[in-house]
Structure 1
Amino acid sequence: MTLLDERALFNHVLMDYVMSRCIPPALAKRYLYEIRYLNKNRAYYAVGFKTDKDSYSYALRSKLFKGWLGVSAIRTIPVAGSDEIDLFEGFFDFLSYLTMSLFVRPVCTTIILNSTTNLKQALATLEGAKRINCFFDNDTAGRAAYGNLQAVGFPVKDRSSLYATYNDLNEVIQQKSL
């Protein structure tokens, strides 16, 4: 896949998709981009969430597609003076947390894994944290990621109990909006 264009999130189809996930447009526009890309000589567009890897790597989502442009990577949002880290499995969970808490930006350093398979990329940043709040999915991969951090001795707190009857934070706000 090749990046054609990164622009402010404006496309009505993508905005409808984001709003179907119950993310307010103003919050979405703060963190997400409209990404146009080429795949097998066809042009596509998706919502893009920038990663730490390089300026051309994004987690991509649309109603019909979930994938990557560039390489799969985490996103770190540092907060100066923070000794606590909020750790999210996906960017819609991160945006859902901000929506639920009525914040527009994180209050502590935040890492979005974009997949539990990216957990190793976050380990260096997790070192030295006094507490790591884990907002993982209530599934096998989420429990395994939490267990791996716990086994290594990180000061983790499982926050999935806050949404125990749901798979993830985004599902909570989607169900509550019905």
Structure 2
Amino acid sequence: MGRRKIEMKVVEDSSSRQVTFSKRRTGLFKKANELATLCGAEIAVLVFSPGGKPFSFGHPNVESIADRFLNQECPKSKFRVSKNDEKAGRLNQQLEDMESQLEAEKKRGLVLDKAVLKAKGLPLKGKPPSFGELSRADLRKMKASLEALRENVKEKASEMEASSSLLLLANGRRDSYDCC
């Protein structure tokens, strides 16, 4: 039977497009892995699905490759100012703001934890109370607060991941115009 040539155009049916994306993404990541293994190359691949969800592959990992790429130095004589510098600066500022908000929330969480322990008459230092020492109502409250915390952390992580991906994309575009 053999392979047939596929015309390069956008797949119109959304479900077919998603299936094609998934298969092609898997193939792309497989090829990247082979290249890294056979040649000892350091590789990072970042792909956004048609629905906007990010997927990444990196060898040894995406973060180290992205940091290395973003921190490389360009020759001074060939450096050009990019139109995206202002946009990248705004994204960097947003990222820094979110990181400082995260730190403030962590500190606030510690203060609230101490306040809850103090209100319950539990010791602030030393070993925390065992689950056997807490009533069922306290355990239910703790479970609800832990679930809320988990959802909050998931949400913040998603926001930070999206911001990080946008920042990487913005810097990647800037670097492709800035250097060499």
Q: TM-score range by the shorter chain?
A: under 0.3
User: What TM-score do you get using the length of structure 1 for normalisation?
Assistant: 0.26
Greater RCO structure (CA 8 Å; 6+ sep): 2
User: What TM-score do you get using the length of structure 2 for normalisation?
Assistant: 0.25
